């Protein structure tokens, strides 16, 4: 069953594409952003801690996010495959993920990187209108992406299962590429 990691800048369309794969294959999507927003909404201590970081466009501390995602990966439902959206975002998260997956005996099969030029990203985020999609916060999130998450792309780039696609097209075209890559999973 497919185990897929999606990488790319904020607003690249990872969430939308993950949802399409979920619909088609029936595997769960684990989105750190969704999990954090849920915790914020429920007002849990974790949510209260995370909110300040999210409002500023900063990353929530590694330990918090790693814990959230590991909890999901250990659920029995995860044995049928999964798609990760928005995690890992730092090299420390990627290393922790590799260790967890090794322990579970469920290595990732595909890392798919969404290539989208900066200008297109800013426009997409401004159009999306989420509460953390204010111009200043958007610029900061892109800065954090370059500092913290581009190294994650390099971390995976040399692996056999790494693939990238042109994310700057209509969602149906991107989806077709995604399905081709997943169908062609390694191993």
Of the ranges 19-27, 84-92, 104-112, 158-166, which one interacts with ligand AMP (CB under 6 A)? Answer: 84-92
Contacts of 103 (CB under 8 A, 6+ apart): none
Does residue 33 contact residue 133 with C-beta atoms inside 8 Å? no
**Of 13, 57, 81, 161, which one interacts with ligand AMP (CB under 6 A)?**
57
| Six token digits for residue 109 | 């099969």
**Of 7, 36, 152, 178, which one interacts with ligand AMP (CB under 6 A)?**
36
Give yes or no for residue 59 binding ligand AMP (CB under 6 A): yes
Residue among 111, 126, 99 at smallest CA distance from 162: 111
Does residue 1 contact residue 80 with C-beta atoms inside 8 Å? yes
**Of 8, 12, 17, 87, which one interacts with ligand AMP (CB under 6 A)?**
87
- Which residue is associated with the tokens 């399409």? 20
Q: Tell me the closest approach of the beta carbon of residue 122 to ligand AMP, in angstroms.
A: 14
Point out the residue whose Cβ comes nearest to ligand AMP: 33
Beta strands in the chain (DSSP E): 3-7, 29-31, 82-85, 110-115, 162-166
Of the ranges 19-27, 53-61, 95-103, 173-181, which one interacts with ligand AMP (CB under 6 A)? Answer: 53-61
| Six token digits for residue 107 | 């290595």
Q: Tell me the closest approach of the beta carbon of residue 93 to ligand AMP, in angstroms.
A: 6
Of the ranges 49-57, 95-103, 166-174, 178-186, which one interacts with ligand AMP (CB under 6 A)? Answer: 49-57
Q: Work out the angle at residue 40's Cα, subtended by the Cα atoms of residues 37 and 41, and round it to the nearest 5 degrees.
A: 90
Give yes or no for residue 29 binding ligand AMP (CB under 6 A): no
| Six token digits for residue 144 | 């954090």
- List of residues contacting ligand AMP (CB under 6 A): 10, 32-33, 36, 53-54, 57-60, 65, 86-87, 89, 93, 132, 141
């Amino acid at each position: 069953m497919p185990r897929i990691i999606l990488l790319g800048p904020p607003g690249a369309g990872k969430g939308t594409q993950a949802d399409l794969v979920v619909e088609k294959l029936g595997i769960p999507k684990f989105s750190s952003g969704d999990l954090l927003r849920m915790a914020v909404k429920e007002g849990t201590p974790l949510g209260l801690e995370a909110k300040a970081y999210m409002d500023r466009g900063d990353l929530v501390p590694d330990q918090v996010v790693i814990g959230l995602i590991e909890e999901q990966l250990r659920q029995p439902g995860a044995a049928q495959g999964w798609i990760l959206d928005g995690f890992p975002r730092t090299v420390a998260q990627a290393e922790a993920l590799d260790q967890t997956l090794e322990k579970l005996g469920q290595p990732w099969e595909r890392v798919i990187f969404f290539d989208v030029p900066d200008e297109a990203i800013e426009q997409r985020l401004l159009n999306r209108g989420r509460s953390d999609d204010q111009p200043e916060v958007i610029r900061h999130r892109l800065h954090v992406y370059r500092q913290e998450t581009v190294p994650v792309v390099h971390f995976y780039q040399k692996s056999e299962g790494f693939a990238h696609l042109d994310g700057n097209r209509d969602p149906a075209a991107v989806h077709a590429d995604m399905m081709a890559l997943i169908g062609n999973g390694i191993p």
